[in-house]
Structure 1
Amino acid sequence: MLEVRNKTAFEVALVPVQDKQGDDYAVVVIKGTFCWKDRGVPVPAGEPVPILHADTFHGEPGSSSLRYAADACPRKPGTDVALVGSAHVPGGKTATTLDVGLRVGPVQCVLRVVGDRRWQRMMGLWRPTSPEAFRTLPLVYERAFGGMDLTHADAAKHSGEPRNPVGTGYCAHGDAKRLEGLSLPNLERPGSPITHWKDRPAPVGLGFIGRDWMPRQRFAGTHDAAWEQERSPLLPEDFDERFHNAAFPELVSPQHLQGGEPVRLLNVTPEGQAAFHLPRFHVEVEARFSELRARHTAVLDTVVLEPDSRRLLLTWRAAVPCTRRFLDIRCVDVHATPA
């Protein structure tokens, strides 16, 4: 009987997966939950967050953005960095615009947060209203550019923004029924404001993006009739493992982070700025088969920052090859030591 012996303070799960060549792997997922204070060293939290075996959403699945990408997934070729939280004007004040951002080691992203605006017809032209003041705003893709336009009488002309179908501000035809009162995005890229309803800026955010969103979806490969007849249920030959990286593209580190990297946060806490270093652990997995043992060093491939609760989630992963031998695994030992 397969036994997983967790000798860490973290959550551990064993996930059987198969790659596009049909080779089997036992993927060991190790998830650590930490709490942190400004410029302090994050320490293990008393209540660990469980490993998620499916994506979770901010609202209704399929019509809202991802809150957390599933932990139980195959190998990631790089490290995802994501932030789940809100923009905060420092000191409890109000503002109509605010820059927010994060930097973790080599990856960084800065967004401009703009108060609520709507399209309004003035002097015969469609113009944005002046932004309203805010103290805090959620950093979700529902507030970034995107959305669906279903107003045309011909359903064949319905369309949406494939990079963010749950966003706001997208209008396909300039129909007054669609534009009047339509919310503009709160999240923009600094220096690239929306000025016309035909503008199609790239959606921006700090959180995870959906499996069927571009550009992530293009890594899923070709699922056509030829694939269904010749390869299914194997993955398509053009499947790219980068599909498993679910962070905003600018927040995916092509090389796995090691731990110990500096973290800098801007205007995602009431204090305005926060800084600390990622915890650094050496996480090792030993798989015992009936005839042999195999040691694997787990890589840090997911970093989730939750500034509103001062929480940090780190996920390490090790893929143990076991083609046609998954049931031969007798025991998996997991160790983690501070590095």
Structure 2
Amino acid sequence: MSVENHTPFPALAFRQYNMAGDMMGVVVARGTFKLTKDGPLRLADEQYPLVMSDTYEGDPHETPQVACTDLAPFKPGTDITFIGAAFAPGGQPQSSWTCALKVGPVAKRLRVHGPRLWRAKTRKTWRGLINRAHEDALDGWELTPGEPVSHVPLDWRLAFGGRTAEDTLEANPLGIGLVDEARFKEQAEWRAPQIELEDQPIRSIRDRPQPAGFAPISPFWKDRAALAGTYDDDWVASRHPLLPHDFDYSFWQAAPHDQITEPWLEGHEPFELTNLLPGFESLKGSLPGLALQVSIDQGTGAQSGLMVLDGVHFDMRPGVGRVFMTWRTAFRWPERRGVPVLSFTAQRETV
């Protein structure tokens, strides 16, 4: 639906029921910005359009999500996400180093490694003298050092997770690091995770850490799917088309849980990217300090309210190199009267 837009940002209005069954109007706006060193984000000349559906590199079940839909009705907090790579300090290939993302109160550090392996250790057994099928026995697994590299893609496919014939990590089905020990004779080497939380190093094939990354999480992965509610026969009979009673609006938060800040960011917070940009071991800046409001006259006089900043997404992939910010607000709109008016404001008001 159209919005009377007095900003440079693409914006859209749509209607959706809330949990109580009220028809709500939702307005979302998306701004595109460029990084500046030691300064606020700068408005980009080209404003990217709204994202109308979740976007993936390819098959959603085989590739990571690169952008999440802007058509979410409500987010309880601000998502802070980053897509790109970690770059070795000084530009010289290294086997391992740390990188960090900090925006306002959110601070997270990862350790990245060059390609490394879980390698089976075996020993000879006396049973092999009788039956060669039992000559070798498994004597544990060693983790090889990472190969020296100049950068590591911050990709869920390089974090802990994945699938084997016996196991699937639903929190990150794209990842690596699961080992099928029973197959050690036919496969003595398995890829080990290249990305981990700095304070949770992976030391054993039996470790089950939370997958580590800065990127968005797919809605059908465990951490988000668990918030979607129960869609059963009882829901169809007594609740449809409303959301289930056990639906949690945090489902719409696409960031890892430790990259969500509640309440929302105000939009002027400082940020720091450490070893996340080529040629910059540390780049500091701040959000641009913009505030947006929506006003609407539904026949009883104009009412206005501040939009909340519920998304800050650093997309540092080659050819993109932009920061995207999303703002959102909702209001009762039972009869679709009036046209939402979007504008800048310095005031905090309530619809």
Letter in 1 for 2:194: N
Matched, 1:335 2:308: no
Contact 2:94 2:150 (C-alpha < 8 Å) held by counterparts: yes
- 2:200 counterpart residue number: 192
Whether contact under 8 Å (1:280, 1:338) holds in the other structure is no
What is the letter of the counterpart of residue 206 of structure 2? Answer: K
Residue 3 of structure 2 corresponds to: 4
Cα deviations by residue, 1:274-307 (Å, 9 ceiling, x for unpaired): 0001111120111222444321210000001134
> Following TM superposition, by how much is the alpha carbon of 1:196 offset from its aligned partner in structure 2, in angstroms?
2.3
Q: Which residue of 1 aligns with 2:309?
A: 300
Deviations 1:140-178 (A, max 9, x none): 11111001113xxxxxxx431011111111236643378
**Secondary structure of the equivalent of 1:17?**
strand
CA offset at residue 228 of structure 1? 2.6
The structure-2 alpha-carbon separation of the partners of 1:251 and 1:177, relative to structure 1 and needing over 3 Å to count, comes to farther
**DSSP 3-state at the match of 2:273:** strand
2:217 match: 209
- 1:244 equivalenced with 2:252 (yes/no): yes
Structure 1 residue matching 2:109: 3-state secondary structure? strand
| CA shift in 2, pair 1:178/1:19, >3 Å | farther
User: 1:231 aligned to 2:239?
Assistant: yes
How many residues are paired up? Answer: 328
Percent of matched pairs sharing the same residue: 32
Deviation at 1:137, TM superposition (A): 1.4
* Residues 56 and 63 in structure 2, CA contact (< 8 A), matched pair in contact too: yes
Q: Give the letter aligned to residue 309 of structure 2.
A: L
Q: State the distance in 2 between where 1:208 and 1:295 align.
A: 31
Correspondence for 2:179: 171
Q: Distance in 2 between matches of 1:178 and 1:73?
A: 47
Equivalent residues in 2 for 1:87-166, closer than 5 Å: 87-123=86-122, 124-150=139-165, 158-166=166-174
Unaligned stretches of 5+ residues in structure 2: 123-138
Counterpart-to-counterpart distance in 2, 1:190 and 1:50: 35
Q: CA separation in 1, counterparts of 2:86 and 2:196?
A: 13
Report the alpha carbon displacement of residue 60 of structure 1 after superposing the two structures with TM: 1.4
Q: Which structure has the bigger radius of gyration?
A: 2
Preserved contact between residue 120 and residue 189 of structure 2 (Cα < 8 Å): no
1:61 aligns with 2:60: yes
Instruction: Identify if the C-alpha distance between structure 1 residues 285 and 56 changes in structure 2 by more than 3 Å, giving closer, same or farther.
Output: same
Give the 3-state SS of the residue equivalent to 1:215 in structure 2: helix
- Once the two structures are superposed, residues 4-37 of structure 1 have per-residue CA deviations (whole angstroms, 9 ceiling, x without a partner) of 2111011111122222222221111111111122
**In the superposition, relative to structure 1, how do residues 141 and 216 fare at CA in structure 2: closer, same or farther (>3 Å)?**
same
Structure-2 residue corresponding to 1:255 = 263
**TM-score, normalised on structure 2?**
0.88
Q: 2:283 aligns with which of 261, 269, 274?
A: 274
Superposed CA RMSD: 1.9
Contact preservation (8 Å) 1:174, 1:197 = no
Question: How has the CA–CA distance of structure 1 residues 176 and 77 changed in structure 2, closer, same or farther, with 3 Å as cutoff?
Answer: same
Secondary structure, in 3 states, of the residue corresponding to 1:315?
strand
Q: What is the TM-score with the length of structure 1 in the denominator?
A: 0.91
Q: Which residue of 2 aligns with 1:17?
A: 16
Give yes or no for contact 1:90–1:269 (8 Å, CA) kept in 2. Answer: no
Moved more, 128-137 or 115-124: 115-124
CA contact (8 A) 1:77 1:256 kept: yes
> Contact between 2:15 and 2:333, CA under 8 Å: does it hold in 1?
no
**Quick one: distance in 2 between partners of 1:209 and 1:177?**
35
Q: 1:174 to 1:200 in 2, by over 3 A?
A: farther
Per-residue CA deviation, residues 203-262 of structure 1 (Å, 9 max, x unaligned), is: 111011111222222211122332233212221101111111110110000110001101
With over 3 angstroms needed to count, the CA separation of the structure-2 counterparts of 1:186 and 1:49, relative to structure 1, is same
| 8 A contact 2:113–2:152 mirrored in 1 | no
Answer yes or no: is the 8 Å Cα contact 1:171–1:179 preserved in 2: no
Please state whether the residue corresponding to 1:219 is helix, strand or coil: coil
Q: How far did 1:198 drift?
A: 1.9
Q: Which whole-Å CA distance do the structure 2 matches of 1:215 and 1:186 have between them?
A: 21
* Residue matched to 1:153: none
Task: Give the drift of 1:106.
Answer: 0.6
The SS at the match of 1:227 is helix
